[in-house]
Amino acid sequence: MAGSAAALDPAAVTVVPRRIQAGFWSDALWRVRHDPTTIAAMVTLGVLVLVAVSADLLADQVFHVGYQQQDLFNQYRKPSLDEPAWWFGSDQLGRSVFVRLLYGGRVSMFIGTAGAAVAVLIGLSVGLTAGYFRGWWDDVVVWLVSTIDGVPRLFLLLTIGFYFRLGPVELTLFLGGLTWLGVANITRGQTFSLREREFVVAARSIGASPVRVMLRHIAPNVLPLIVVVAMIDVAMIILTESALSYLGFGVQPPVPSWGNMLSGASQHLSRGPWLVYAPGVAITLTVLCLYVIGDGLRDALDPRLRGQR
Amino acid sequence: MGRFVLRRLLQAVPTVFGILVLTFILTRLSPSDPLDFLIGGVSDMTPEQREALRETLGLNQPLPLQFVDWLGHAIRLDFGKSYFYQRPAAQLIFERIPNSLQLSLAALVLSLVVGVPLGVLAALKRGGKVDHAIRLFSVLGHAIPAFWFGLLVVLIAGVQFRVLPIGSMNTLGREGDLIDRLWHLVGPVLTLALAGIANYPRYLRTEVLEILGQDYVRTARSKGLREPMVIVGHVVKNALLPIVTLLGGLLTLFISGAVVIEQVFTWPGLGRLLFEATLQKDYPVVQASVLAASGLLVLSYILRDIAYAWVDPRIRFR
C-alpha cells in the first residue's frame, strides 16, 4: 500500500500522468492541494484555531475585557457593532459573549485534540497487539470493546461524572478513554490481514522482533486510515464534551466552554435569545470543518476510494 | 434461524457480564466512600455507627465477594429504594422506559421515512444540484450538536413563535390525549431524528449507485420494465438490505442522545431520570438507569443482528 501504490493505481495514472513517480504521502498531499472543499475547510479551521489560541492576546488588546469580567450595567446587551466586546452581545452577568467564545473555543479544541490523541494512542497499541498476537489477548480486547460499546456513551459519562469530580484533565482522559474503540477496531482488522502478507513474513523470517514488525512494518500501513479516524474522533469528542458541559458535568464554570455557555443560555431563552446562537454556530463550524477535512483526507489517502466521487 | 438466534444470545452473555462489572467497579473506584452512596444523605452518624453499618452492608469484605453479592441483587433487578422518590428504583425505571422508547422509535421511523428517499434521490440525480444539496444537508446534520438544534427548536418554535410546546409530554390536564402527545413529540423527535436523517442518505447513495450498475438492473430495463418499477422493485429493495446494519448505530445514537434531548425538552424518559438522580445523589436510581439503558442497547444490537440474518440468509451460516 505504501511506497509506489499510487503508481500502480491505473486510475491515478490516467488522470494525473505526471504523478507517476510520486511517493504515497506526497501524492496524498498533491491530491489534498487540488481539492478546494478540503482546502477551504482547512483554512477555516486554521483561522478558528488561531483565534482560539490567541484568546489571551485578543481579549487584552482588542476587546479589553477578560472572560470573567462582569459588567452589571450591561446585562443582556444585544449584539451590536459599537464596541468589539459587544459584537455578539453580553450575557446575564454582562460578560462579553465574544471573549467567552474565544476562551471556550480554546478549552473545547484542547479537550478534543488531546482526547483524540489519547484515543489514538490507546487504540493503536491495543489494536496492533490484539491483531498481531491474537489468542487470549485478542479475546479480552473484543470483550472490552463490546462491553464499552454496550453502555450508551452519555449515560456512562454522566455516571462517571456522578462518582468522580472531573477537572479538564480527567475529562480529557475519560473522553479519550471511551473513544479509542474505533481506532482499535480498524487497526486490529488491518493487522489481522497485514500480518499474513509477504513483507511481514519476510521481516519475521530474518528475525525482526514483534515490536519492530508492528511499528516498522504494520503501523505505517494502518496510519493513513488512522489519520482519518482521528479527525472524526476530534469532532466526536468536541460534540460529546459540549453535550456533557451543557448538562453541567463537563467543563465547570467559571471556565467557559461552548457547551456550558449553551447551558447558561438555555436558562435565559426569553431575555437573551442571541446567547443561544454563537456557541452553537462555533461548535457546528468546527465539527463541520473536521468532518470535511476527514472526508478529503480519506479520498486522498485511500487509493481504493479514489475516483468514486 | 433458531440456531442463529441462540448463538447471538449466548454471545451477549459476556458483554452483559462486562457491563455489570464496569458498573460495579465505577462505584468502588470512586474517591468517595461507597458507604456514603448507600446511606444516601444521612450525615449525623458517629464513626462507630458507620463502622457497624459497613459491617452489616458487607463493605468490609473483599471486593470479589462484594461483587457477587451485588450481582445477586442486580440480577433480580433489586437496586434498592430511591432515596428521593422512596420507591424501588426498578419500578421507576419501568415507568420511564416506555417514554424513552416512544421517542427513539418515532425518531427511527422518521429517519427512515425521510432519509431513505433522500438517499435514493441523491443517487438518481448523481452530480446534480439535488445531489449536492442532499450531501450538504447530510454533512451539516452530522456536525450540528443535537442538543443545540433542540434548543433552537425550543427557542424559535416554542418561545418566539409559540407554535410548538416547549417541553414535557402533555399539556397539564390533557394526559392521555393522543393528539396532544403527538404535538409534544414533534420537537424532540425532530431533534433526535436529525442525525438519523443525515446518516441514511450517505450510505444509501453509495449503495444505490453500486446496484444501478448491476446486471439484473440492466436486464430489468431491457425487458421493458418501466423505470419507477426498476427503481422501487429492484434497486431500492436490494439497497435496503445493508441499511439494517445501520439501525444499530442509530439506536445507540437515539438511546445515548436521549440524555441531552430529554433534558432540553424536559421529557420524562430514562435519560432524564439518570440526570435528575445524579443531581439528587440518588445512587440506586443512577445504577439502575445506567444498567437499564445498557440493557436496551444490547437488546437492540441483538434485534438488529437477528433482523439482518432474517433479511439476508447468508449471514446465518457465517
Domains of chain A: 24-303 (1.10.3720.10)
Would you state the pLDDT for residue B27? 79
Q: Closest residue of B to A260, CA-based?
A: B148
Would you state the pLDDT for residue A128? 92
Task: Identify the residue with better confidence: A195 or A68.
Answer: A195
Of B31, B144, B290, the CB nearest to A155: B290
Mean pLDDT of chain A: 81
**pLDDT tens sequence across A43-53:** 989 988 888 88
Does residue B25 belong to any structural domain of this protein? no
Does residue B215 belong to any structural domain of this protein? yes
Single-letter amino acid, residue B158: G
Q: Do B14 and A146 touch (CB under 8 A)?
A: yes
Please report which confidence band the pLDDT of residue A304 belongs to, taking 50, 70 and 90 as the band edges: low
**3-state class of B176 per DSSP?**
coil
Q: Do B142 and A291 touch (CB under 8 A)?
A: yes
Would you state the pLDDT for residue A234? 94
Which residues of chain B have a CB within 8 Å of the CB of A165?
Answer: 31
Q: Do A246 and B286 touch (CB under 8 A)?
A: no
Which residues of chain B have a CB within 8 Å of the CB of A155?
Answer: 255-256, 259, 271, 274, 289-290, 293-294
Nearest CA distance, B27 vs chain A (angstrom): 7
> What is the secondary structure of chain A as a DSSP string?
--SSHHHH-HHHHHH-GGGTT--HHHHHHHHHHT-HHHHHHHHHHHHHHHHHHTHHHHIIIII---SS---TTSTTPPP-SSSGGGTT-B-TT--BHHHHHHHHHHHHHHHHHHHHHHHHHHHHHHHHHHHHH-HHHHHHHHHHHHHHHHS-HHHHHHHHHHHS---HHHHHHHHHHTTTHHHHHHHHHHHHHHTTSHHHHHHHHTT--HHHIIIIIIHHHHHHHHHHHHHHHHHHHHHHHHHHHHTTSSSPTTS--HHHHHHHHHTTTTT-THHHHHHHHHHHHHHHHHHHHHHHHHHHH-GGGTT--
C-alpha B44/C-alpha B144 separation (Å) is 48
Which residues of chain B have a CB within 8 Å of the CB of A273?
Answer: 155, 159-160
Of A155, A247, A276, the CB nearest to B263: A247
Which residues of chain B are modeled with pLDDT < 70? 34, 37-44, 172-176, 317-318
Instruction: Kindly give, in sequence order, each residue whose CB lies less than 8 Å from that of residue B9, ignoring residues fewer than 6 positions away.
Output: B302
Q: Read off φ and ψ for residue B284, nearest 5 degrees.
A: -60, -40
- Residue B274's domain comprises 96-311
Q: What is the ipTM of this complex?
A: 0.86
Does residue B58 belong to any structural domain of this protein? no
Would you state the pLDDT for residue B40? 61
Would you state the pLDDT for residue A83? 72
Q: Do A284 and B293 touch (CB under 8 A)?
A: no
Would you state the pLDDT for residue B257? 80
Query: For chain B, how many structural domains are there in total?
Result: 1
Q: Do B147 and A269 touch (CB under 8 A)?
A: no
Is the confidence at residue A102, as pLDDT, over 80? yes
Would you state the pLDDT for residue A22? 66
Q: Do A287 and B142 touch (CB under 8 A)?
A: yes
Of B26, B142, B263, the CB nearest to A160: B26
**pLDDT tens sequence across A15-33:** 444 455 667 777 777 777 7
A90: which strand partners?
A96
Would you state the pLDDT for residue B203? 83
Does residue B175 belong to any structural domain of this protein? yes
Which residues of chain A have a CB within 8 Å of the CB of B144?
Answer: 280, 284
**pLDDT tens sequence across A128-172:** 999 999 889 999 999 999 899 888 888 898 888 888 878 888 889
Which residues of chain B have a CB within 8 Å of the CB of A287?
Answer: 142-143, 145
Q: Which residue is listed with cell 468536541?
A: A238
Would you state the pLDDT for residue B125? 86
Which residues of chain B have a CB within 8 Å of the CB of A295?
Answer: 139
Q: Closest residue of A to B256, CA-based?
A: A152
Would you state the pLDDT for residue B244? 74
Would you state the pLDDT for residue A12? 45
Q: Find the mean pLDDT for residues A179-201.
A: 90
Nearest CA distance, B195 vs chain A (angstrom): 13
Please report which confidence band the pLDDT of residue A112 belongs to, taking 50, 70 and 90 as the band edges: very high
Is the confidence at residue A77, as pLDDT, over 80? no
Which residues of chain A have a CB within 8 Å of the CB of B14?
Answer: 143, 146-147
Exposed, middle or buried by CB within 10 Å (0-12, 13-18, 19+), for A82? exposed
Q: Find the mean pLDDT for residues A239-252.
A: 88
Would you state the pLDDT for residue A307? 45
Instruction: Tally A–B CB contacts below 8 A.
Output: 138
Give the CATH number, domain containing residue B282: 1.10.3720.10
Does residue B182 belong to any structural domain of this protein? yes
Would you state the pLDDT for residue A1? 37
Does residue B253 belong to any structural domain of this protein? yes
Instruction: Identify the weakest region by mean pLDDT among A230-244, A279-293, B57-71, B128-142.
Output: B57-71
Would you state the pLDDT for residue A121? 94
Would you state the pLDDT for residue A283? 92
Of B32, B274, B297, the CB nearest to A150: B297
**pLDDT tens sequence across B250-276:** 777 788 888 888 888 888 888 889 888
Q: Do A152 and B255 touch (CB under 8 A)?
A: yes
Which residues of chain B have a CB within 8 Å of the CB of A164?
Answer: 29-31
Instruction: Identify the weakest region by mean pLDDT among A64-78, A117-131, A238-252, B181-195.
Output: A64-78
Of A155, A242, A284, the CB nearest to B259: A155
**pLDDT tens sequence across B201-240:** 888 888 888 888 888 889 988 998 888 888 888 888 888 7
Does residue B85 belong to any structural domain of this protein? no
Would you state the pLDDT for residue A7? 44
Q: Find the mean pLDDT for residues A66-89.
A: 70
Q: Closest residue of B to A264, CA-based?
A: B151
The pTM of the full predicted model, rounded to 2 decimals, is 0.87
